Structure 1
Amino acid sequence: MSTPFNEPHNARDQWARLFSAQRLGSDKLPPTPDSARSAFHKDYDRLVFSHSFRQLNQKTQVHPLTNQLGIHTRLTHSLEVSCIGRSLGMMAAEKLHDTLPNGLPEGVTPADVGVIVQAACLAHDIGNPPFGHAGEYAIRDWFLHPERQPVLQRLSADERLDITAYEGNAQGFRLLVNNEHHPDKGGMRLTCATLGAFMKYPWLATHSNDGNIKSQTQQIANAQKFGCFYSEAAQLEELAACLHLPRAAQHDGYSCGYARHPLAYLLEAADDICYALIDLEDGVHLGMLNYNEVASILYELIGERPDTVTLPPGTSVRQSLASLRARAMMRLINTVTDAFVDNSEAMLAGSLTGSLFTHCDAAVQNGITQAKQLAREKIFNHPSKVRMELMANQCLHRLLDAFMPLAWTALAATPKSFEQQRLLILLQPHLDEHRRILSDNIYHNILNILDFITGMNDYEAYRLAQELQGYWGSTI
């Protein structure tokens, strides 16, 4: 499969383009590296100091609004994923260097590759709405209600799918390239290498969703992931051109449908490792799972029997799980990076199918599958989690009920109600900060209001929803 420009390249040239330090949104040449910080280290720092990253501190990882200390939020999850990602990136680059005829491209070190993946992992959940995936489902559910059909019919097919299949990954790309403003606009102006590694799904909603599904329940549950709203299609094209990403075979005939950057596979693996292992630890600490259920999976991933692993006497359940998890992670990092190098040609061609885990040995595949299955059965459907998700759904619906009609009524000639006037006052600082206005373009108005709502953390969303219901000063 060829690049967008149909140019033949050797592998080293392709890797050089994929490690581009060019900043998206900037016409300037890549900066001259200094001894202190590379362009990729600056990406990491920009993310750490961004408002959107700080908001992850009180956004749901798995358990919404939990009061129990030590349970993961999106921020702690993202930090842990970034650590695993850095190890994966560095080890994969070291192994890749040994297999390429002339090694890694000139000026690129394993440490550089590690920090590219680390920065991308730090940002991987930055677009998540309040209450995690429950928040995504609530937004889709609200827009798919029959009452919203007259408004949806005023949107193009591309715009309609962006809303009804709403996706936090696409919101994340929008944040990075638009909303977190550089003084001269252009979003955060991250390097193309970091953005490429961030993009797990470098295509639009129309590439992966069927707009003809009639059932509202099916549309909410079966919405397929995508990484870019139609509003940011031009930035995706610019990114793909800079990196020379090949067109994806499954998106043949579509514009803006590209194969993943190879490093995105490492980001996905880092996320899966933390999701599969650490979420289970949280389940034990919350009483949803027992130690033996989780330990048996960790032993399989380690590749040893319990009687061959010696833990110090008197080790607590928490310490035992942490020790086993660390050993499992070491094996997974080594196995995944082997799979990365073994499948590097397919990734460069854009023809690799499945995740890197599908190309690992059977024991690793089975362990990861068991971990995810256990989480689905006993954590995601636990009554306490279901109750909180129902609350989250009602909370977001109340916010959408209040603010979203402004997307199509704010500029109407008819006088605004008292409530609409007050809501506009609450919304205006957000619009001013991002240099936006409510215009006659309903699609852009909807996205701007979604930026406002999804930018809240769980507690902000809960508190405002309660106040809109008339409950003053409500707290968790």
Structure 2
Amino acid sequence: MNWEKLLSLKRYGDQTIRRRIDQDEARLGFEVDFDRIIFSDSFRSLQDKTQVVPLSKTDFVHTRLTHSLEVSVVARSLGRIVGKYVIEKYPELEEKGFRSNDFGAIVAAAALSHDIGNPPFGHSGEKSIGEFFLSGKGQQFKNNLNPKQWQDLIDFEGNANGFKILCESVNNIQGGLRLSYATLGAFIKYPKESLPKKPSQHIADKKYGIFQSELDFFKELVHELGLKKRGKDTNVSFSRHPLAYIVEAADDICYTIIDFEDGINLGLISEDYALEYLINLVRDTINTKKYNSLQNTKDRISYLRALAIGNLIQEAARIFIENEDHILKGDFNHSLLEKCKYEAQINDIIKLSVDKIYQSKEVIEKEIAGYQVIADLLDVFLTAVNNKHAHRLSNYDKLVLMLLPDKYKQTSDDLYSRILSICNLVANFSDSSGILLHKKIKGIDLV
């Protein structure tokens, strides 16, 4: 892989080449990507989607929106550090107009959208959609779909749904948000289709990132970017865009440190544990005098959090730079933080977070409720759109269809497309809007 192709400014439908040297510095194409994402409906829905604790009413707990903004900021810093190194190593890039800040702009946009396809109710939202088809009412569709289409559904993946949102043509709007190919490449953590499942231990094979519905455009995208083919035979699998490692690292840094901080603020993790675990991450850089001058635990934790994030940014950048040749060859098969000197401390924090936060009673109770909400919504909407296609609409179905946003009212002749469209609809609900609609279709709290 080579950086000039990887930094492609091309957008869906372009008939002429976009050269970096011709870009308006006041309105750089990579920065336009950020703007298009932040003004999109799907991004706004993240303000009421679970990051750690579903439906939390406290003002200090992160949502998917605040998490995405923070990941974007961390990614931008990381990208700029890496960009400075790459531009110095490959001076021909600067001759063609590329700048170190371009790398920051690309990964900032990709990171901003990294959770845009995630369903409500946290990671249980993905699992509940998958289980609706694997063991719920959605089992009825299995024999009418091919194996890869079926795997897309039973292993429903927020990353693939995010790619669909960013590039899907809907209602004569071609190419979705029409982001630059460089940003789309950096967005895709798992550049493969759903089957075969985990064919290797490579980090890019951990999950999948492309539904069958976006396969044709994905093939065009990876060809333009020059990503390395990895899949055998006709299976679609490619090496990551190098900047996808940066986006992943930014996400890893934020959820490790900031989810931990949320757990502290919610009282799920004791302050003694919090200070001990965070200090272990910053022993080499902490200003003891400044730390001891802070008067309360909240200020101390905030200071340690900021210092920890700074340390991890420098570490992730160092690992990327040291392994840039392997990354370009597609041979680097770990996340950046897996190779950093703080790996043991990170794992300690994650282990405590799983025990005290992710598996806390409050989280589990609300995730259980989310399973039922998502299953019922999928059932009602899928029944209505499939009955419409079969010309056997009931009066109830007609009322349900009236609730659909315009983009979902045109039903496809293809069963897989109809099903995936409704999955996308349900995944786009926020936690609160999903619960509210569920109450309405169940006739709850109408009086």
Q: TM-score, normalised by structure 2?
A: 0.93
Quick one: distance in 1 between partners of 2:62 and 2:170? 25
Please state if 1:47 is matched with 2:2. Answer: no
1:375 alignment counterpart: 353
Please state if 1:27 is matched with 2:7. Answer: no
| C-alpha distance 141-459 of structure 1, shift in aligned 2 (>3 A) | same
**TM-aligned CA deviation for residue 17 of structure 1:** 0.8
Amino acid at match of 2:220: E
**TM-aligned CA deviation for residue 228 of structure 1:** 0.6
| C-alpha distance 473-287 of structure 1, shift in aligned 2 (>3 A) | farther
1:273 alignment counterpart: 253
Work out which of the residue numbers 224, 229, 235 in structure 2 matches 1:242. Answer: 224
Please state if 1:120 is matched with 2:96. Answer: no
Quick one: distance in 2 between partners of 1:300 and 1:98? 34
Amino acid at match of 2:53: H
**TM-aligned CA deviation for residue 385 of structure 1:** 0.7
**TM-aligned CA deviation for residue 328 of structure 1:** 1.1
Amino acid at match of 1:233: L
Structure 2 matches for 1:38-437, cutoff 5 A?
Answer: 38-100=28-90, 106-145=96-135, 147-178=137-168, 184-208=173-197, 225-248=207-230, 251-304=231-284, 308=288, 310-311=290-291, 313-361=293-341, 364-414=342-392, 416-427=393-404, 429-432=406-409, 437=410
**TM-aligned CA deviation for residue 413 of structure 1:** 4.1
| C-alpha distance 107-56 of structure 1, shift in aligned 2 (>3 A) | same
| C-alpha distance 189-428 of structure 1, shift in aligned 2 (>3 A) | closer
Indicate conservation of the 8 Å contact 1:178/1:185, yes or no.
yes
Indicate conservation of the 8 Å contact 1:25/1:187, yes or no.
no
Quick one: distance in 1 between partners of 2:217 and 2:14? 11
**TM-aligned CA deviation for residue 295 of structure 1:** 2.2
Please state if 1:18 is matched with 2:14. Answer: no
Quick one: distance in 2 between partners of 1:136 and 1:82? 23
Deviates more, 1:22-31 or 1:348-357: 22-31
Indicate conservation of the 8 Å contact 1:23/1:191, yes or no.
yes
Q: How many residues end up aligned between the 2 structures?
A: 440
**Deviations 1:37-95 (Å, cap 9, x if unpaired)?**
21001111111111111111111111111111121000000000000000000011112
1:219 alignment counterpart: none
Runs (5+) with no aligned partner, structure 2:
200-204
| C-alpha distance 102-427 of structure 1, shift in aligned 2 (>3 A) | closer
| C-alpha distance 200-305 of structure 1, shift in aligned 2 (>3 A) | closer
Indicate conservation of the 8 Å contact 1:407/1:442, yes or no.
no
Amino acid at match of 1:387: E
Quick one: distance in 1 between partners of 2:106 and 2:183? 5
Indicate conservation of the 8 Å contact 2:129/2:423, yes or no.
no
2:202 alignment counterpart: none
Which structure 1 residue ranges, 4+ long, deviate > 6 Å from structure 2?
Answer: none
SS in 1 for 2:404: helix
**TM-aligned CA deviation for residue 356 of structure 1:** 0.9
1:441 alignment counterpart: 414
Indicate conservation of the 8 Å contact 1:203/1:256, yes or no.
yes
**Deviations 1:97-137 (Å, cap 9, x if unpaired)?**
34447675631111111010100000100001111211111
Q: TM-score, normalised by structure 1?
A: 0.87
Indicate conservation of the 8 Å contact 1:259/1:350, yes or no.
yes
| C-alpha distance 349-356 of structure 1, shift in aligned 2 (>3 A) | same
SS in 1 for 2:25: coil
**TM-aligned CA deviation for residue 462 of structure 1:** 0.4
| C-alpha distance 387-105 of structure 1, shift in aligned 2 (>3 A) | farther
